[in-house]
Structure 1
């Protein structure tokens, strides 16, 4: 039996999209899958080191690892009219060089923020600590991500939606690419194709059995939020558009990479379709 580790975040969307495998609803007879849950910036950092065969990543990281990892078409999270939020205390004004807490250097929200606010003084911390850092006055503002966008202290308010930043930078209302999955290029191509197909099936099965899976996650305390919040969150970030990339989502990722290159964060503007696993390989191999 082969053992394959799939690394993902402990956030509700990633848990939901993976656990059809964990619960044995989807599997591969000659492979044992193990999972590890780490915060998104830790996953990004480990991807730079090539630690895991299959890993969740921020789309904002991908151009940095494109030579070692291929992008997967499944288990993706986009914002459409919503996304990370730049928050501050009510009644305060942010100066040009305000101090801000971000969830990690390689996150998509950090990329967009750094383009939009080049003079801000950035502190990186775990996203679960950002709200308290703003409340305590350790920073002037912070960017909330994941479940944090759905509820925060009433003394805080939104300075700016990063969705609006994205739309201004992109020049359109393309979906906002936030998180995806990557697979190590050193794996045999046939195995990589099997893993992508398996993960795609897992996300589809999760969506087809959303109520049952959600109830099981809540009963086992596998998510940090309550039932109503989970329902809302999954429709944001683990919805039917998460099963496989659409042409519109491809266009959005390409725009993100082009923006990053234009502003000096990447060494090239890449087309994401050039960095996907060639699924046609299996058919061609046996034709």
Structure 2
């Protein structure tokens, strides 16, 4: 049987979740071929429908709801997980400021667009943001992934926690990313793939140290302390199943984005 391409990022939460599937530790309904790419690359590919199964920012999902559907397992939602806005010095207002962002299709950029207006986004790969801010090439940076744990090393300070802002505004967890399946795979296979992703995560939770070498092989930050902090932050109960509260959070994010014209409306179900 031809292998099905599975896209996910090299970040520790994704490599932790998919370790068991990538190494045949759990059963999959079809052979899977891992494709590891920066999440913004995966976001852009999804606009073309390129991969049948892929990690995606929720902001990008908002633009491809008619083509893809989210699995209930494998995603990143939660509290205390939001992107941070950092700068070299206090920044009382963002209007007119150059802000390095990790991609226009990321949930981080969508949140910043809901939070503030009038800034000038400078799009770069997420792991290049901290050096740009530290060197003074931009006034602020919107950071995600491992950068949330390492920005003090660059002499930078937190200006805003957009996850905290979202939680205060809505009372809901913050949706960051999901595993999406192209709807043309069919409901039966998609449900089987969802169960396989959950089995993979359950295996990693039961054998966490077994996944460490795989995570270190792909992580931008090799410190084991940072890697495990990343996993603890982004892998939680919502990763096993998005649940009713998670579904409400995703619906609220899309409603806010639609109201601002940031994503097109869609009547397609968000989850199977």
**What TM-score comes out, normalization by structure 2 length?**
0.92
Shift of 1:52: 0.3
Instruction: Give the distance between the partners of 2:166 and 2:150, measured in 1 at CA.
Output: 22
Q: Which has the larger radius of gyration?
A: 1
Q: State the match for 1:256 in structure 2.
A: 253
Instruction: Give the distance between the partners of 1:102 and 1:55, measured in 2 at CA.
Output: 22
Where does structure 1 differ by over 6 angstroms across 4 or more consecutive aligned residues?
none
Partner SS for 1:165: helix
Q: State the match for 2:209 in structure 1.
A: 211
Counterpart pick for 2:185 among 163, 184, 187: 187
* Structure 2 runs not aligned, ≥5 long: none
* Structure of greater relative contact order (alpha carbons < 8 Å, 6+ residues apart): 2
Aligned residues: 270
1:103-142 to 2 correspondences below 5 Å = 103-142=102-141
Q: State the match for 2:87 in structure 1.
A: 88
Residues 6-37 of structure 1 deviation map (CA, whole Å, 9 limit, x = unaligned): 000111111111110111101237x3211111
Shift of 1:114: 1.0
1:46-125 to 2 correspondences below 5 Å = 46-90=45-89, 94=93, 96-125=95-124
Instruction: Give the distance between the partners of 2:132 and 2:238, measured in 1 at CA.
Output: 33
How big is the alpha-carbon RMSD for the aligned residues of Structure 1 and Structure 2?
Answer: 1.9
* Structure 1 runs not aligned, ≥5 long: 278-287
Shift of 1:136: 1.7
Residues 158-187 of structure 1 deviation map (CA, whole Å, 9 limit, x = unaligned): 11111133134xx33311100111101111
Shift of 1:208: 1.9
Matched, 1:177 2:175: yes
Instruction: Give the distance between the partners of 1:93 and 1:256, measured in 2 at CA.
Output: 26
Relative distance call for 1:188 and 1:92 in structure 2 (3 A) is: closer
